[in-house]
Structure 1
Amino acid sequence: MRTELHSYGRNLLFQASGTAGGGLSSSWTWAAVFTGVGIVIGVYFTVVHRRRDKLAKLLEPVDLLLDDTAVALDELTTVPVVKDDLKKLGELCSRIEQAEKAFPSIPFGTVVATIEAYEKTVLPNDFAKKLTKKETADEILDLSRQQGIRIAAVQTAIDTVQGIIKPLRKR
């Protein structure tokens, strides 16, 4: 009887030490690992999507600003532009400069630089009077050609920046 009790106690002790040292069974361990990994991945995607949504909301007014600038440029393509016509474009350019400071990784500087280059090609306010002279007529025609080239450059710069912004907004 003593041997039976001794072996029974030894088996009981062995079983108790096996679960205490080994922890949970293997099926519980794997379930806990998968659950933990799932929680970590879920938290990661939640944080990433919230950041992207926040960036998309921040970029929306900037995208609309570039649309407004493109519309203003389209209006300017139909007339010979003098300094008085650049008031709205100047305001839009200053707002784009602010966007450049807020989002330095997006190349708003190219848009600003091309707008400033375009502003240098404006015609003098009294260009109609100067058209009667041969030399100034050639200069005015040259400025008009440069205006067309610079407007195309500004529109290309706007399209490039919007090409960067649109995918960031749609994520």
Structure 2
Amino acid sequence: MLVVLAFIILFHITSIALLFIATIDNAWWVGNDFYVDIWKNCLNTTASAVCTEVGSDSPYFQAIQTVQATMILATILCCVGLLSFVLQLFRLKQGERFVFTAIIQMLSCLCVMIAAAIYTAMHDKFHPNLKLADGTFGYSFILAWIAFAFTLINSIMYLILRKRK
């Protein structure tokens, strides 16, 4: 049983790391001469990269703020879920389920899905000054979808998991 618990904790920590990388790193949409994320746009010049923050002058600023907020909330919920799991591990009686932790993970999963879906639908409107047809989704965007799958699987594992000797 200790191996299963260690695997679940490792899986949960991996989910947290994926969410942190996807939220912070600047690679949601990349091209030859630019890379953008939910925080800023960066244009590659010959000497360096010139980055500008996503500004409130965009008509879709509320939508990008929604993506930012839900990714931050997903990361926080995933961290709280790990803390909840560790606390419940020592406090629950034998055979009780980790339902609270599963609910927190499911909410984290939902937040990641909302953020990635909004970005998928509206990424060309978030960065109107760039030639986005020349780019592709970057690894941070892909990590966000992988984090969605990990948090979903993690929440299902918590619903199934029972504390045994």
Q: Is the structural similarity TM-score above 0.5?
A: no
* Greater RCO, 1 or 2 (C-alpha within 8 Å, sep 6+): 2
Larger-Rg structure: 1
TM-score relative to the length of structure 2: 0.38
| The structure with more helix, counted as a fraction of residues | 1
